[in-house]
Structure 1
Amino acid sequence: MNPEEIREGKTTAITAYILIVGVLIAMSMNGETKNRFAAFHIRQAAGLSLLFISVGMIASPFGNWLISAPLYFANMILWIYGVSTAVRGEMQPVPLVGSFFQKFLKSI
């Protein structure tokens, strides 16, 4: 991928990491000019948003912060990793689940 394509898609990629609203905004920003860098990060951010919602659904019945806090903390670390790779202009999937997000959300 050339540096020009990364530069053009960086704003869209970073926008995608603003939870689910950012994913929707980034998808509309990337609608006309399909940028591969932006699409990669949109898939990563969408996967992280779905993971966050899933963690909430799994952890909420327990009602115990000793169970939910580590799950939310792990999700936050993955989110920080995704944002930092977008800011640096890299296409690194988030650890553990990033490759799955790319395969599962390939239609985005």
Structure 2
Amino acid sequence: METNKNITTTDNGKTAGIVSYFTIIGWLIAYFAMHKDNKTELGSYQLRQTLFFAIVSTILGYGLGFVLTILIASTGITALAYIGWIVQLALFVIWIIGLIGAINGEKRPIPIVGEKAQTMFPNI
């Protein structure tokens, strides 16, 4: 029985894209273990998006948390904490949209940061 040696088992970067959505550790694994030696257009696209999204969401989370903490401490209006929760929920929804795109193997930009990410990290 003869096997076909032309069959490829590559997923064209889809797996790296999916893994990159799971924390910065997942991004590092996706980049160094899956993408660096086997670069694909889809993998690069998803890695750029997830890196920029992680940076923006971290800065936004800490910055907004800092500002809201000061506002709550100075005004006593604890309802301001809801703003932080709403922003975190919005970031989670954006993350889900990006993950679904990666699972489907699509090069669809995630809302707000997706297009900018492609120009910020052209070497990935």
Whether 1:66 aligns to 2:82 is yes
Q: 2:75 maps to what in 1? A: none
TM-score where L is the length of structure 1? 0.87
Q: Is the 8 A contact 1:47 1:101 kept in 2?
A: yes
Q: Which has the larger radius of gyration?
A: 2
User: Which of 80, 91, 94 pairs up with 2:110?
Assistant: 94
Q: Tell me the alpha carbon deviations over residues 33-91 of structure 1, each in whole angstroms, 9 at most, x when there is no partner.
A: 11111110011111111122111221211134222111111111111011000111110
Q: 2:61 maps to what in 1? A: 56
Moved over 6 A (4+): none
User: Which of 36, 51, 60 pairs up with 1:46?
Assistant: 51
Whether 1:7 aligns to 2:23 is no
- What's the % identity of the aligned pairs? 28
Cα root mean square deviation, aligned: 1.8
Matched residue type, 1:14: I
Separation in structure 1 between the aligned mates of residue 52 and residue 96 of structure 2, nearest angstrom:
14
TM-score where L is the length of structure 2? 0.77
Q: 2:36 maps to what in 1? A: 31
Unaligned runs of 5+ in 2: 1-7, 70-79
Separation in structure 2 between the aligned mates of residue 26 and residue 65 of structure 1, nearest angstrom:
34
